[in-house]
Amino acid sequence: MKIAVCVKHVPDAAVTKRIDPGTKRLDRSGEGSLNPVDANAVEEALRIRDATGDGAEGEVVLVSLGPEKAIDSLRKALAMGADRVLLVSDPDAAGSDLVATSSLLAKALEREGADLVLFGQQASDSDGAVLWAAVAERLRLPLISQVAELTLEGGAVTGKRQTEFGYDVIRAPLPAVVAVADSINEPRYPSLKGIMGAKRKQQDVLSLADLEIEAERAGASGSRTEVLALSDPPPRGETRKLEDDGTGAEKIVEFLAEKRLV
């Protein structure tokens, strides 16, 4: 069984996020890391590969879109046990929105022809939680999202997800797209052997030309959204800071009474 896991290189949690005023995009020049929930998707793929007993025929492929330095983040997933990386990286793809990104990832996934495509539920740099739906639509594959428990049997995948009213249990035929929640498992820590071996695993970097995609279909030109302007939030109205010296409650009541709110 071939399992493709779509993973993302995101700004490291320790890096202060800022918007580049020139491009009006998130500044990604600092340190990056593997999107946390994507590690859960990688872990689930590894468990499925090992449980199915495919041996040499089973494969976990990491598929990503980003700058070439994203390889450094993806090596963590290779060290966990993934087999290889397919990174789509091209200067003309910079600034791709949901529409353009889903198109590029779908093209890369078509090239792989995986039996199962896994996503983390959302990325820490955007929290959009919709990319997997857009990719599934382009691939014309069934989709299960927010999966907290996943099983494969008889050429189908079954996902269990928690709702405010209980649990949904959804079954779909393979191939399928599944977005997993961070509650599905606890990602393993890469071993020293895994870390050392990660650099020797296959790491393919493809351009738009390699995928036979025109530059106009990627980046800003291939996107359907545009940020027109950025500005600071409007200033708040009148505020008053109260120091609590033991009479804080009385001061609050006096303030509310002054505003005729009590």
Do the bridges between strand 32-34 and strand 166-173 make them parallel or antiparallel, or are there none, so unpaired? unpaired
Q: How many CA atoms lie within 13 A of 52 on its CB side?
A: 24
- Lowest model confidence (mean pLDDT) among 145-149, 200-204, 255-259: 255-259
Cα–Cα distance between 57 and 54 in angstroms, integer?
Answer: 5
Average pLDDT estimate for 75-88: 95
pLDDT (0 to 100) of residue 179: 96
Q: How far is CA 25 from the centre of its chain?
A: 17
pLDDT band at residue 82 using 50, 70 and 90 as cut-offs: very high
Pair 103, 221: CB distance under 8 Å = no
State both tokens at 192: 């020293």
Pair 226, 119: CB distance under 8 Å = no
Cα–Cα distance between 223 and 104 in angstroms, integer?
Answer: 11
Whether residue 242 is predicted with pLDDT greater than 80 in this model: the reply is: no
- For 80, the 3-state DSSP assignment is helix
Per-residue HEC secondary structure of 82-145 comes to CCEEEEECCHHHCCCCHHHHHHHHHHHHHHHCCCEEEEECCCCCCCCCCHHHHHHHHHCCCEEE
Q: How far is CA 5 from the centre of its chain?
A: 10
Whether residue 104 is predicted with pLDDT greater than 80 in this model: the reply is: yes
Q: Where in the chain are the domains? A: 2-217
> What is the overall mean pLDDT for the chain?
90
Q: How many CA atoms lie within 13 A of 94 on its CB side?
A: 12
- Lowest model confidence (mean pLDDT) among 14-23, 72-81, 112-121: 14-23
- For 253, the 3-state DSSP assignment is helix
First to last CA, the chain: 68
pLDDT (0 to 100) of residue 120: 95
Pair 67, 87: CB distance under 8 Å = no
Whether residue 84 is predicted with pLDDT greater than 70 in this model: the reply is: yes
State both tokens at 62: 């990491």
Average pLDDT estimate for 79-102: 93
pLDDT (0 to 100) of residue 124: 87
pLDDT (0 to 100) of residue 53: 67
Pair 157, 144: CB distance under 8 Å = yes
Residue 257, H or E segment: helix 248-258
Look up the pTM and report it: 0.84
pLDDT (0 to 100) of residue 56: 58
The string of pLDDT tens digits covering residues 186-239 is 999 999 999 999 989 999 999 999 999 999 999 888 998 888 888 878 887 777
pLDDT band at residue 54 using 50, 70 and 90 as cut-offs: low
Average pLDDT estimate for 33-38: 93
Query: 2-217, what's its fold?
Result: Rossmann fold (3.40.50)
Cα–Cα distance between 259 and 91 in angstroms, integer?
Answer: 56
Average pLDDT estimate for 20-40: 86
Residues of the chain above pLDDT 90, percent: 61
Bridge partners (DSSP) of residue 143 are: 177
Whether residue 95 is predicted with pLDDT greater than 90 in this model: the reply is: no
Cα–Cα distance between 50 and 59 in angstroms, integer?
Answer: 10
Average pLDDT estimate for 20-27: 81
State both tokens at 199: 């650099």
The string of pLDDT tens digits covering residues 170-181 is 999 999 999 999
pLDDT band at residue 143 using 50, 70 and 90 as cut-offs: very high
